[in-house]
Structure 1
Amino acid sequence: MQELNNRSANRATAGRRRWWKAACLAIVLTTVGQCVFWTTGAATAQEGEATAVSQVILGQALVKEAKAAPVSKSKSSDELKTRPIGTKVFKTIVEVEDPSAVKAGDLVDVSLVTIGGDHAHVEKILKKVVVHSVEPARGEQPEPAKPAEEGAGEAEDAVAEHGEPELYPTLVVGLQLDSSKLEKIRTADHQGALRLTPFIDHSNDGIVQSIVHNFVSNLFQPLLLFFFMGFAIPLLHVPFEFPKALYQSLTIYLLVAIGWHGGELMAALATSELAVAGGLAVVGFIVNAFIGVAATWILRTTTPMRRIDAVTVGSYYGSDSAGTFVTCLGILATLGILADSYMPVMLAVMEIPGCLVGLFLISRLRRQGMDPSGNMPGEPGYHDSVGKDSLDDDSSDPYAHDDSQKLVPKSVGAAAAAGAHEDGGILSPKILHEVFLNPGLFMLFGGLIVGFISGRQALVDPHVVEGPNNFFVMMFKGALCLFLLEMGITACRRLQDLKSAGIGFIVFGLLAPNLFALIGIVALHGYSMALGHHFHLGTYALMAVLCGAASYIAVPAVQRIAIPEASPTLPLAASLGLTFTWNVTLGIPIYIELAKFVTESLPVT
């Protein structure tokens, strides 16, 4: 009787705690909702007044001219509707070699020109930027520079009146830029002169030539050089260990930065664009779930792996890789290829299917008689004396069998399977918490929410996001370089785990990502054709790496809790040693060319 009373008291206490937690959560959600509503309402109320001016940002060189001739508010909406959502026009004075060759709609590269010593230093900072508008500088039509022998007298007069002549003619040019590029070009505009050169398009080359060009152009970029630098550390036996605390800090920073930037850009999207993003999230979830099942089937039919290990590796490929995603973002920024702003949401959503597919397939294996060491009937080392009753018997000794089999204790997942009838499902609250609220997912979603709310506020007061952008946007590539240094070290060390995996497993780790990436590209293009909505080329590339990459953060955490019977080394050896290395070197250029081929072969009408 006393025991029943205690149980009743405990249940009552637990009930009060649940109600208290629910009340606190409701208060937090209500407060956040009010903030979003307030900022959205304020932005909407001022949209008619602010749209004309806030979309055009003047460079440092035009500040004085802007005071004399302010931007007209009557000009705005219709003229700027042709710009992609999420971009702004940066208007400043730039140098051009041939002013007559620059016109609205052209693609150009932007370089920063600074004077050092006796010569000018030219550094290319942006590629493939769209020219929005072109105007003559100082109210005069610029003329191409004349040869020295024809205009020597005029040049001497100009030197006498104005000092040294300009190396290039100047124009007032408006450039279409997203937030990250906008911050970069504004900083460069303070440091020196901006110079435009025509963008050279290699898309008309053959697919092999384009892949080679992209690979060569990326090979000596800092991102890959840092990866190769880390890869060489174990090979050369350098006594260096990357600080674990620094790696964790970099991971947190990159996830929050991706979320922040994506949320900030999403704040400027129309409702129709957000609806497209929601549909794409559903498509991505289904595609990655299919990839998880397909990878498991391929491994079971082409390799001698245990069924539990095939399922575990398949679940890794049914998820995605934050490291590959951020590397692709860096490469796209280097190549000047645009991507839709809601792709960080896809990173968060497409991380979940692999976890769920793995847990579902593992639960089936347990019901079919898997022993505590993960062996199935018919597999070497299987102990047929282990049955369902032994799982339910708390007094059974999981180590009572031969020590050579290296048996492990019963896992949380096994306990969940055994208690399915009691709890009403195969997933325990602990596993569900790890799947949907793992640290990586929380940091990414948290950054998205904070960035979205701040972005809505920035529609009224742009200064709200200036400080965070300096940290999350300007420093992103530097942090990514250090992150790739650690990834190179880990990838090289994981290659040693492949010695006993077999040639089939190695071939899978190198070729399967290309198949899965193509599936992602085709699925995205099918969604694009169904809606009649055009996606940026960078969106196709990011979708490809989300489908073609394998997890090394989220799924290992779930495996540690729910599937400890599986090999902890084989999945990471494939995802890091093989697939990650392939994706960041050759994979991403190949995916870009595949996306070009698919979109050009089947244009969206």
Structure 2
Amino acid sequence: MMLDAVVAFFILGIVCQLTGAKLSFPDGLYKTLSMFLMIAIGLKGGLALQAHVDPSLLTMSLVVIAFGLTLPLLAYPLLRYFGQLDKINSGAVAAHYGSVSVATYAVAVALLEASNISYEAYFPLFVVLLEMPAILVGLVLAKGNLKIVNGEFIKKELIANQSILLMLGGLAIGYMGGASVQKLSPMFIDLFSGVLALFLLKMGIVAAEQLSTLKKNSIFLISFAILMPMIGGLAGTGLGLVMGLSAGGVALMAVLGASASYIAVPAAMKESLPEANAGMSITASLGITFPFNVLIGVPFFIALGSYLVQ
């Protein structure tokens, strides 16, 4: 099977880091590429949503939110009782694995489109909905009570969250902008794969850097960071089938279940759970799970979705 060119840039980043090549990105470029992808994903979803508004979308959205609340509850006992982590770190890591990775979703979309596999237009909305529920559950599990989930936290992490605002804003602009949105296509649609390739090049470098930090609990951490995406991905596959999604939709639901956050959740944990070991969570989600999903998980779930929905 031929390796997708976009994914190949991720491997190139890993090779550059492991061989000691001095490949540096200009200051702020990583954040710019990340912002571009979030806006582009929202716009693409909004454009497609113009012609595909589904009356059952509210019900499906509630189901997706419930899915986001469930995933950290599956991860927590694995971390607490098999990994022997304390409550604080078990809750923090579980939150990462209940939330989503926008980059992993972007890779899945690129591979689906390259293979001409269609998917439901409203998935960017599901990405937004899955950003935050796991953070709330993770904090409650870590602290053992609901007091940490206060009004200030909800305002800062839910209402003013950059990822949520950019994707939801892009979705609204794409949906309500009508024909005028086509003016943005040369940048946000036509250049999507190229920008994603640059982003993955950077992510390959960062992922390889994280691998060098594996120390305590490394065997369990590696095992968990591979097992949990499979659990979440298979659960997402089952959910997609129950929801009656297309082959591409089932694959994307699986990818959302399999991915782990390394942007929104770390920021929330740093603010609300500073005593947690941030390095362990980032190493697992970015150093192990992200490469696993890009190279193995996403192609597997796309193939599984195509096999199950024919």
Report the TM-score range of the alignment, normalised by the length of the smaller protein: over 0.9
Give the match's secondary structure for 1:253.
helix
User: Is the 1:522–1:598 Cα contact (8 Å) retained in structure 2?
Assistant: no
2:20 corresponds in structure 1 to 237
Counterpart of 2:50 (choices 243, 262, 267) is 267
Measured in 2, the distance between the counterparts of 1:264 and 1:572 equals 34
Report matched runs for 1:221-236 at 5 Å.
Answer: 221-236=4-19
Q: Please list the CA deviations of residues 311-364 of structure 1 after superposition, one character each: whole Å capped at 9, or x if unmatched.
A: 111110010000100011111111111111110001000111111111221231
Measured in 1, the distance between the counterparts of 2:182 and 2:52 equals 19
Counterpart of 2:228 (choices 512, 519, 524) is 512
1:497 corresponds in structure 2 to 213
Give the match's secondary structure for 2:25.
coil
Report the TM-score, using the length of structure 1 for normalisation. Answer: 0.50
1:591 corresponds in structure 2 to 301
Bigger strand fraction: 1
User: Is the 2:239–2:253 Cα contact (8 Å) retained in structure 1?
Assistant: no
User: Is the 1:259–1:451 Cα contact (8 Å) retained in structure 2?
Assistant: yes
Structure 1 unaligned runs (5+)? 1-215, 368-416, 418-424, 459-463, 529-534, 601-605
2:157 corresponds in structure 1 to 435
Return the letter of the residue paired with 1:449.
A
What is the root-mean-square deviation of aligned Cα atoms in Å? 1.6
Counterpart of 2:79 (choices 299, 317, 328) is 299
TM-aligned CA deviation for residue 277 of structure 1: 2.5
User: Is the 2:88–2:143 Cα contact (8 Å) retained in structure 1?
Assistant: no
TM-aligned CA deviation for residue 285 of structure 1: 1.2
Q: Please list the CA deviations of residues 220-250 of structure 1 after superposition, one character each: whole Å capped at 9, or x if unmatched.
A: x221111011111221111232234111111
Report matched runs for 1:122-161 at 5 Å.
Answer: none
Return the letter of the residue paired with 1:435.
E
Report matched runs for 1:534-545 at 5 Å.
Answer: 535-545=245-255
TM-aligned CA deviation for residue 508 of structure 1: 1.0
1:469 corresponds in structure 2 to 185
Query: Is residue 251 from structure 1 mapped to residue 31 from structure 2 by the alignment?
Result: no
Return the letter of the residue paired with 2:184.
P
User: Is the 1:303–1:502 Cα contact (8 Å) retained in structure 2?
Assistant: no
User: Is the 1:545–1:588 Cα contact (8 Å) retained in structure 2?
Assistant: yes
User: Is the 1:434–1:557 Cα contact (8 Å) retained in structure 2?
Assistant: no
Measured in 2, the distance between the counterparts of 1:233 and 1:329 equals 26
Sequence identity percentage: 32
Q: Please list the CA deviations of residues 371-395 of structure 1 after superposition, one character each: whole Å capped at 9, or x if unmatched.
A: xxxxxxxxxxxxxxxxxxxxxxxxx
Q: Please list the CA deviations of residues 263-314 of structure 1 after superposition, one character each: whole Å capped at 9, or x if unmatched.
A: 11111224xx1x2322222111111211111101111121122221111111
Report matched runs for 1:72-471 at 5 Å.
Answer: 216-217=1-2, 219=3, 221-270=4-53, 273=54, 275-364=55-144, 425-436=147-158, 437-455=160-178, 458=179, 464-471=180-187
1:550 corresponds in structure 2 to 260
User: Which stretch shows the higher mean deviation, 485-494 or 235-244?
Assistant: 235-244
Structure 2 unaligned runs (5+)? none
Q: Please list the CA deviations of residues 19-66 of structure 1 after superposition, one character each: whole Å capped at 9, or x if unmatched.
A: xxxxxxxxxxxxxxxxxxxxxxxxxxxxxxxxxxxxxxxxxxxxxxxx
Report the TM-score, using the length of structure 2 for normalisation. Answer: 0.95
The structure with the largest alpha-carbon Rg is 1
Measured in 1, the distance between the counterparts of 2:277 and 2:232 equals 23
Give the match's secondary structure for 2:177.
helix
Q: How many residues align?
A: 309
Quick one: structure 1 residues 540 and 497, their matched pair in 2 at CA, closer, same or farther if it must change by over 3 Å? Answer: same
Higher relative contact order (CA 8 A, sep 6+): 2
1:19 corresponds in structure 2 to none
Quick one: structure 1 residues 571 and 595, their matched pair in 2 at CA, closer, same or farther if it must change by over 3 Å? Answer: same
User: Is the 1:518–1:594 Cα contact (8 Å) retained in structure 2?
Assistant: no
Measured in 2, the distance between the counterparts of 1:242 and 1:277 equals 40
TM-aligned CA deviation for residue 435 of structure 1: 2.4
Bigger helix fraction: 2
User: Is the 2:87–2:143 Cα contact (8 Å) retained in structure 1?
Assistant: no
Query: Is residue 484 from structure 1 mapped to residue 200 from structure 2 by the alignment?
Result: yes
Q: Please list the CA deviations of residues 105-131 of structure 1 after superposition, one character each: whole Å capped at 9, or x if unmatched.
A: xxxxxxxxxxxxxxxxxxxxxxxxxxx
TM-aligned CA deviation for residue 540 of structure 1: 1.0
TM-aligned CA deviation for residue 496 of structure 1: 1.5
Report matched runs for 1:21-60 at 5 Å.
Answer: none
Measured in 2, the distance between the counterparts of 1:310 and 1:333 equals 36
